[in-house]
């Protein structure tokens, strides 16, 4: 129970105290109404007044909606439990004149009110509505809010006042032009400086109607950096091929600069937590920079350097195709489709099993909550046990756990998988609270090995789009001696809990950020990179990206990483 009460303390410590007071206030009003009904139940006139007073919680909810939501419906889900209290308060009106019926009604109403009210007070997140403010005022309010609530301010050594001063001129320019695209750009630049995979920026406006300082180009091919440091063209279209650049052509210069220098100097900071991932993606994004024309130097078939001038073709299809082929990201339209594919298994050959973990989440909401609070997701462990036993019955001798593009969820689900793959106890995550810039762990969530599959050799595949609880799962698996964490890139490098949201001027821009603290066994933020941006959860084996690998990925559209994992297990099983 220590873990449970510690988890509750963490959740309550993360919740927004101002919003919790609204919930407590409504519960207090409902208590007063219950006392008044007991005192007035024999007086018809007073009972009539009492029924009108039952509208008071609902009126409080309406006032709250006007103040905090103001028809910004992206904020509405944060407050559903509070508004549900206002509806629950109306139920006793039905039986107000029936003594026995009212007593019967009082029991479920009281229990439901306590449960809903408690849930709201301990879980309400830090959502802020600055949509009625101007660009400049909402930007300043955002900076002040994140300075107070951003959970990694001290760990990442963020100076929010300096960020405000740096990007305020761009915000003022956007306000003068009433240009939401430039406003989003300014907020996005702040986001990038945090180097946190949990910080996101979304725009809600007609992007085609506004110009921005950021311009992107397409020249009919993509770029990728090989492990050797060479940069080659991929996904080339016919027009580029006629200029002498085909799939696999070595690119040496971009607008006269050595290609790696150009990627470093001309591609803006992408905001990736891990600098090595950012550098890798900067090369892929270099083909979006330039102008209406770009000078590209490359090695021809004889090894001689040639230079051609390429024109912008008006689309970035080749670039997008290169990213899709590299990440092997599946095209899911809904969360339901993700859950349907999540935890899917198959045999890759007669000896190698495979399980795909797209997210550390299930469709069993109550079990997820209990697993989180108790630090032990029993349902997930049993689910993994059944799937692994089924694979073993099909002849599995070794296993690939696919964490690529994992969108996160609850670390306890990743720990449940680890339970089965080890016969030892390991530290998972610690839920913490932040006070005066200091971090304190209040609930330890650990891996308790059952030993059932401890002799199974495992490769866990990851990539830079493996984030949050996926990042945590990658870390926990890498601790196990029978598991090898592998990938071309490191995981994203973020593992805190989301919960912060600011809706800015006119709702044109929204920024989200983490507010829940997750710690490692040493009491510092789990997985998160420091200002040096060096991965604290690197792959144990870097899958080499040579010419043949690049051709398999980008030309032949093969899942090279998965094929590599199977071969690695086969070689190490001998």
pLDDT digits (tens, 9 = 90+) for 142-195: 999 999 999 999 999 999 999 999 999 999 999 999 999 999 999 999 999 999
Domain topology for 222-315? Pdz3 Domain (2.30.42)
For the chain, the structural domain boundaries read 17-124, 222-315, 335-507+514-543+556-573
CA-based nearest residue to 533, from 264, 273, 159: 273
User: What is the C-alpha separation between 268 and 270, in angstroms, rounded?
Assistant: 6
Number of residues assigned to the chain = 574
Question: For 195-292, where are the alpha helices, taking DSSP H only?
Answer: 238-242, 259-266, 275-286
Q: Are 196 and 514 within 8 A, CB to CB? A: yes
The yes/no answer on whether domain 335-507+514-543+556-573 falls in CATH 2.60.120.260 is: no
Q: Is the pLDDT of residue 101 over 70?
A: no
Q: pLDDT per residue over 197-226, tens digit each?
A: 999 999 988 887 787 777 888 999 999 999
With tokens 């929010």, the residue in question is 160
User: What is the C-alpha separation between 145 and 440, in angstroms, rounded?
Assistant: 22
Q: Is the pLDDT of residue 120 over 80?
A: yes
Q: Is the pLDDT of residue 77 over 70?
A: yes
Q: Is the pLDDT of residue 98 over 80?
A: no
In three-state secondary structure terms, 9 is helix
The pLDDT value given to residue 68: 93
Q: Are 464 and 272 within 8 A, CB to CB? A: yes
Q: Which of 202-206, 283-287, 457-461, 547-551 has the lowest mean pLDDT?
A: 202-206
The pLDDT value given to residue 541: 97
The pLDDT value given to residue 102: 63
Percentage above 70 pLDDT, the chain? 98
Tell me the pLDDT band of 96, cut-offs 50, 70 and 90: low
Tell me the pLDDT band of 338, cut-offs 50, 70 and 90: confident
- H or E stretch including 77? none
**42 or 545, higher pLDDT:** 545
CB count within 10 Å of CB 238 equals 7
Q: Are 347 and 394 within 8 A, CB to CB? A: yes
Say which residues have a Cβ less than 8 Å from residue 228's Cβ, sequence separation at least 6: 546
Mean pLDDT of 527-543: 96
Q: Is the pLDDT of residue 457 over 80?
A: yes
User: What is the C-alpha separation between 467 and 302, in angstroms, rounded?
Assistant: 43
Percentage above 90 pLDDT, the chain? 76
Mean pLDDT of 66-72: 89
In three-state secondary structure terms, 229 is coil
User: What is the C-alpha separation between 517 and 434, in angstroms, rounded?
Assistant: 7
Q: pLDDT per residue over 252-270, tens digit each?
A: 999 999 999 999 999 999 9
Question: For 363-497, where are the alpha helices, taking DSSP H only?
Answer: 365-374, 378-393, 411-421, 469-479
Q: Is the pLDDT of residue 573 over 80?
A: no
Q: Is the pLDDT of residue 240 over 80?
A: yes
Put residue 270 in one of left, alpha, beta given phi > 0 → left and psi -120 to 50 → alpha. Answer: alpha
435 by Cβ neighbours in 10 Å (0-12 / 13-18 / 19+) ranks as: exposed
Q: Are 110 and 37 within 8 A, CB to CB? A: no
Tell me the pLDDT band of 124, cut-offs 50, 70 and 90: confident
Q: pLDDT per residue over 260-319, tens digit each?
A: 999 999 999 999 999 999 999 999 999 999 889 999 999 999 999 999 999 999 889 999
Q: Which of 4-8, 67-71, 103-107, 395-399 has the lowest mean pLDDT?
A: 103-107
CB count within 10 Å of CB 349 equals 10
Put residue 236 in one of left, alpha, beta given phi > 0 → left and psi -120 to 50 → alpha. Answer: beta
Q: Is the pLDDT of residue 73 over 90?
A: no
The pLDDT value given to residue 160: 97
Sheet holding 352-356, edge to edge: 345-347, 352-356, 398-402, 457-461, 483-487, 541-542
Q: Are 523 and 430 within 8 A, CB to CB? A: yes
Look over the chain and give the mean of its residue pLDDT values, rounded to a whole number. 92
Provide φ and ψ at 396, rounded to 5°: -60, 130
Put residue 143 in one of left, alpha, beta given phi > 0 → left and psi -120 to 50 → alpha. Answer: alpha
Mean pLDDT of 53-74: 91
Q: What is the pTM of this model?
A: 0.91
The pLDDT value given to residue 567: 96
Q: Is the pLDDT of residue 71 over 90?
A: no
The pLDDT value given to residue 574: 59
Give the Å distances, CA to CA, from 220 to 263, 311, 517.
18, 9, 44
User: What is the C-alpha separation between 178 and 198, in angstroms, rounded?
Assistant: 28
């Amino acid at each position: 129970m220590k873990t449970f009460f510690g988890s509750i303390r963490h959740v309550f410590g993360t919740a927004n105290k101002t919003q919790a007071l609204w919930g407590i206030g409504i519960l207090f009003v409902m208590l007063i109404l219950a006392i008044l009904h007991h005192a007035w139940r024999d007086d018809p006139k007073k009972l009539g007044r009492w029924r009108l007073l039952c509208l008071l919680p609902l009126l409080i909810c309406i006032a709250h909606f006007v103040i905090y939501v103001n028809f910004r419906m992206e904020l509405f889900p944060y407050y559903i439990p509070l508004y549900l209290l206002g509806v629950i308060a109306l139920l006793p009106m039905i039986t107000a004149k029936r003594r026995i019926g009212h007593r019967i009604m009082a029991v479920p109403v009281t229990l439901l009110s306590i449960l809903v009210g408690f849930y709201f007070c301990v879980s309400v997140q830090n959502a802020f509505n600055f949509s009625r403010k101007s660009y400049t005022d909402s930007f300043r309010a955002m900076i002040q809010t994140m300075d107070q609530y951003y959970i990694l301010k001290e760990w990442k050594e963020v100076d929010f006042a300096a960020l405000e001063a740096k990007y305020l001129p761009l915000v003022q320019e956007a306000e003068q032009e009433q240009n939401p695209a430039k406003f989003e750009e300014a907020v996005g630049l702040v986001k990038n400086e945090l180097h946190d995979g949990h910080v996101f920026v979304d725009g809600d406006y007609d992007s085609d109607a506004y110009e921005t300082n950021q311009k992107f180009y397409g020249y009919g091919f993509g770029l990728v950096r090989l492990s050797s440091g060479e940069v080659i063209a991929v996904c080339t279209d016919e027009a580029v091929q006629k200029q002498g650049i085909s799939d696999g052509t070595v690119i040496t210069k971009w607008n006269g600069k050595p290609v790696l220098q150009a990627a470093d100097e001309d591609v803006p900071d992408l905001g990736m937590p891990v600098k090595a991932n950012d550098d890798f993606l900067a090369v892929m994004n270099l083909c979006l920079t330039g102008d209406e024309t770009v000078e590209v130097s490359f090695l021809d078939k004889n090894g001689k350097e040639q230079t051609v001038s390429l024109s912008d073709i008006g689309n970035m299809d080749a670039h997008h195709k290169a990213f899709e082929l590299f990440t092997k990201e599946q095209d899911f339209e809904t969360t339901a489709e993700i859950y349907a594919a999540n935890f899917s298994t198959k045999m890759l050959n007669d000896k190698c099993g495979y399980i795909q973990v797209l997210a550390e989440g299930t469709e069993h909401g109550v079990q997820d909550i209990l697993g989180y609070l108790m630090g032990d997701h029993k349902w997930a462990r049993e689910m993994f046990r059944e799937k692994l036993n089924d694979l073993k019955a099909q002849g599995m001798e070794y296993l690939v756990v696919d964490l690529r593009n994992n969108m996160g969820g609850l670390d306890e689900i990743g720990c449940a998988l680890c339970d089965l793959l080890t016969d030892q106890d390991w530290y998972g995550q610690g839920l913490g609270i932040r006070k005066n810039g200091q971090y304190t762990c209040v609930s330890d969530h650990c891996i308790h090995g059952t030993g059932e599959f401890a002799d199974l050799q495992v490769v866990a595949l990851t990539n830079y789009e493996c984030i949050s609880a996926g990042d945590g799962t990658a870390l926990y698996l890498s601790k196990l001696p029978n598991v090898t964490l592998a990938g071309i890139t490191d995981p994203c490098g973020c593992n805190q809990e989301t919960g912060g949201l600011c809706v800015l001027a006119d709702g044109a821009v929204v920024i989200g950020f983490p507010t829940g603290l997750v710690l490692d066994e040493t009491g510092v933020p789990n997985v998160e990179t420091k200002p040096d941006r060096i991965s604290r959860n690197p792959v144990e084996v870097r899958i080499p990206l040579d010419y043949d690998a690049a051709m398999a990925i980008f030309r032949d559209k093969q899942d090279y990483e998965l094929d590599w994992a199977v071969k690695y297990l086969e070689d190490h099983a001998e």
